[in-house]
Amino acid sequence: MKFFYLIILNIIFLSSSFFAEEGYTFQKLYEVEVELESTDKNSINEGMGEALKELMVKLSGASRINLDQEIKKATSHPEGYISQYKLSSRNEKIIGTFSFNGETIRKLLSDNSLPMWIGIKPKILLFLPCEEQLGLIHKDKNSMGQIDELCFQAKRDIVRIGDTRNIIFIKPSLDLTDLRYIDVYQPKSINDFLDKITERYSLSSWITCFIHDEFGVMMDKPNCLSPDSFQERINIEQTIEILATSLSEDFQLRIDPNLRAEIKLLISGIQGYSDLVLVEEIIESNVLVISSNLDSIQGSSIIYQLEIKGSIEDLEKLMNVNPHLSQQQDAQNNLLLEYLFRSKG
């Protein structure tokens, strides 16, 4: 029996503004666009607060983070976190583009022991039966056009909502043999099938959405299933929320600001002054680093003495997702972290 044969090649990146997933955690500026009511000061301030709320969810991976008292204070007075903003017009709408200072934003999370997304996006299998024309009862031209429209809208909504929760969806490519083994009206059949594919390709989970109900009747809005929705079909927003929440702890860092540690950091592969400058920027922008001193330079390697808040394991998690660094194992020294520097991450 044949299975998915192009699945890894069919990755849907969720947004045209998609950043390299590891690099997003370390950005100097976080840019967020929101629609504004007008160009007056109150509208701009309100938009600034809404943009910061959106950023908090994305950077923390926690949907309820905006209920925290410290975050409420920040979103009520977001001016201190803004580096710049600009107004523009698009399709007769006023758009505010707000750029938040990355270092200040990360400090807000770490100082208050709030979760911080470490830059790894879970990869989720996305299966839409309507794209494969499964379970269709009416196949006349008009109904097919309606099906295509609803299916396209469902995918677009999944993309939009998933982008706010740091999810990458992977779309399978099925052959006819696969399609014969799926009964979209039997939850156990489709659950078992998607469980097997998810496990085979080491994906984090799966989601499937339907534009027909259990009786084959077309619905106004799609409903969805995931392993965490307890075999109950619910709307797209709820399904992605439940799924993202269940996965978030695996991709978050929660720092104890009262914990302190010292460690030496060895970085090899430094080829010139520009590499050294970039390494300095990486260290200085790391939210855990309290102080750093260049200890020695040995050929293409440099050693820093670091004082950090949080644990050494916390530092490792953040360093390991930086696209410019590749950890080198040193089992003989527990007080030394070693990385190979790559100028092109």
Does one domain contain both 11 and 139? Answer: yes
Token pair recorded at residue 184? 């979209």
Nearest to 101 by CA among 80, 119, 71: 80
Does one domain contain both 11 and 135? Answer: yes
Kindly report, residue by residue over 106-149, the tens digit of the pLDDT: 889 988 989 988 877 889 999 988 886 654 445 555 677 788 88
The answer to whether position 201 is within a domain reads: yes
Does one domain contain both 206 and 110? Answer: no
The answer to whether position 255 is within a domain reads: no
pLDDT of residue 173: 66
Q: Which of 69, 95, 117 is the last residue of a domain?
A: 117
The answer to whether position 137 is within a domain reads: yes
Does one domain contain both 164 and 190? Answer: yes
- Looking at the structure of the chain, the number of domains it has is 3
Does one domain contain both 299 and 331? Answer: yes
pLDDT of residue 4: 34
In Å, how far from its chain's centre is CA 342? 23
Nearest to 185 by CA among 215, 207, 223, 219: 215
Q: Which of 117, 144, 174 is the last residue of a domain?
A: 117
Does one domain contain both 106 and 187? Answer: no
Kindly report, residue by residue over 161-211, the tens digit of the pLDDT: 998 888 989 887 655 555 555 555 555 567 888 888 888 888 889 999 999
Q: Which of 102, 117, 132 is the last residue of a domain?
A: 117
Question: What range defines the domain where residue 158 resides?
Answer: 7-15+122-250
pLDDT tens, position by position, for the chain (345 residues)? Answer: 333 333 333 434 433 333 344 456 678 899 999 999 999 999 999 999 999 999 999 888 888 899 999 999 999 999 999 999 999 999 889 999 999 999 899 889 988 989 988 877 889 999 988 886 654 445 555 677 788 888 999 999 998 899 888 898 988 765 555 555 555 555 556 788 888 888 888 888 999 999 988 777 888 889 999 998 877 889 999 999 999 888 877 778 888 878 999 999 999 999 999 999 999 988 988 888 999 999 999 999 999 999 999 889 889 888 888 888 999 876 456 668 999 998 765
Nearest to 53 by CA among 83, 28, 86, 81: 81
Does one domain contain both 87 and 226? Answer: no
Does one domain contain both 132 and 11? Answer: yes
Residue 94 and residue 86 in contact, taking contact as beta carbons nearer than 8 Å: no
Does one domain contain both 37 and 131? Answer: no
pLDDT of residue 133: 64
Sheet holding 301-309, edge to edge: 289-298, 301-309, 260-268, 336-341, 325-328
pLDDT of residue 215: 78
Q: How many CB atoms lie within 10 A of CB 218?
A: 17
The answer to whether position 2 is within a domain reads: no
CATH number of 333's domain: 3.30.1360
Does one domain contain both 265 and 314? Answer: yes
